[in-house]
């Protein structure tokens, strides 16, 4: 197998019999589950400062038009391209049917962050709801900036003073019944098998807004048949949808946030076919090697 499978975390991982593990030639970190592996493709663009003056909630006519164009393009091009290139399959969609009424006020989806179109997979599985999601500030300076921004990406502020405006933007999106997506692993590790440790942001939002968390996880399949004619160094993907986890607002915020985080992580580990996951559920400074 590739370099990734020689990683100490892979050596610690155990999976169910027959679970496919991609062969990749990537040196994954072993001590920091949120460190950057996939580099942003910078194009030298200048962007406004991501401080308290940035439009985290953009209600301009220009934004609405470009956001609509992006959503239409995603449906017409990226969704079919995702199925063609990665053979996307969706499992567990039936887990959402009993909760349709509860989703009328929105929901928070979470997923492992493992390839370029993982968000497209989540949206395809959950109904293409209008969704807004935090993105790292560097993405606003990269070649994918237009797509990320007008797909619903809201950059995380680079100053403490900007956090209030950032939080107010998500308050407004929630009040409008929009869905929220968060990658709790924070950064993308291409075709990584274990489920990494989580930051708390998604689960703090779930408690703050009283919204259910929908766990999703991407697992992999061997590239065979017609799919073996292209992208031979990449696996096929399956998007697994879990059972929504609802916050109990009668319980203390800290305890409920931790419960939702741990239950979400456990569901994702199980759906990924992992019986022993090498990362702890919650991110720690030391990485708990």
Q: Three-state DSSP class for 144?
A: coil
How far is Cα 2 from Cα 22, in angstroms, rounded to an integer?
8
Query: Could you tell me how far CA 74 lies from the centroid of its own chain?
Result: 17
pLDDT tens-digit series, residues 189-246: 999 999 999 999 999 999 999 999 999 999 999 999 999 999 999 999 999 999 999 9
pLDDT band at 55 (very low <50, low <70, confident <90, very high): very high
Distance CA 149, CA 121 (A): 18
pLDDT of residue 194: 97
* CA atoms of 69 and 65, how far apart (whole Å): 6
List, in sequence order, every residue forming a beta bridge with 90; answer none if it has no partner: 239
- Specify burial of residue 61 (Cβ count, 10 A radius: 0-12, 13-18, 19+): exposed
Closest CA to 33 of 14, 66, 7: 7
User: Does residue 250 carry a pLDDT above 90?
Assistant: yes
DSSP per position, 176-187: TT-EEEE-TT-S
**d(Cα 124, Cα 239) in Å, to the nearest integer?**
9
pTM of the model: 0.93
Q: How far is Cα 146 from Cα 142, in angstroms, rounded to an integer?
A: 9
d(CA 238, CA 121): 9
Coil vs helix vs strand at 240: strand
Q: Could you give the dihedral angle defined by the CA atoms of residues 163, 189, 200 and 90, in that order, rounded to the nearest 10 degrees?
A: 110
What is the per-residue pLDDT for 42?
Answer: 66
CB of 24 within 8 A of CB of 3?
yes
């Amino acid at each position: 197998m590739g370099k990734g499978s020689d990683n100490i975390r892979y050596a610690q991982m155990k999976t169910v019999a027959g679970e496919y593990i991609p062969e990749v030639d990537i040196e994954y970190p072993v001590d920091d589950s949120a460190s950057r592996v996939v580099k942003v493709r910078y194009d030298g663009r200048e962007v406004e400062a991501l401080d308290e003056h940035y439009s985290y909630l953009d209600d301009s006519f220009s934004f609405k038009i470009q956001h609509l164009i992006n959503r239409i393009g995603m449906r017409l091009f990226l969704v079919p391209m995702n199925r063609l290139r990665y053979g996307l399959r969706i499992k567990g969609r039936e887990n959402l049917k009993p909760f349709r009424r509860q989703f009328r006020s929105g929901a928070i989806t979470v997923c492992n962050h493992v390839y370029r179109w993982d968000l497209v997979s989540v949206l395809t599985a959950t109904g293409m709801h209008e969704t807004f999601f935090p993105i790292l500030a560097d993405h606003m300076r990269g070649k994918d900036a237009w797509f990320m921004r007008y797909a619903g990406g809201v950059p995380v502020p680079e100053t403490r003073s900007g956090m209030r405006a950032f939080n107010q933007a998500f308050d407004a999106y929630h009040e409008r019944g929009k869905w929220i997506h968060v990658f709790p692993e924070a950064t993308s590790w291409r075709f990584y098998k274990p489920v990494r440790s989580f930051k708390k942001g998604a689960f703090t939002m779930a408690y703050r807004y009283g919204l259910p968390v929908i766990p999703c996880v991407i697992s992999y399949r061997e590239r065979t048949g017609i799919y073996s004619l292209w992208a031979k160094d990449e696996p096929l993907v399956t998007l697994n949808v879990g059972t929504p986890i609802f916050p109990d607002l009668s319980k203390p915020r800290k305890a409920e946030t931790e419960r939702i985080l741990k239950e979400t992580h456990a569901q994702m580990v199980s759906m990924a076919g992992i019986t022993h996951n090498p990362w702890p559920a919650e991110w720690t400074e030391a990485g708990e090697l």
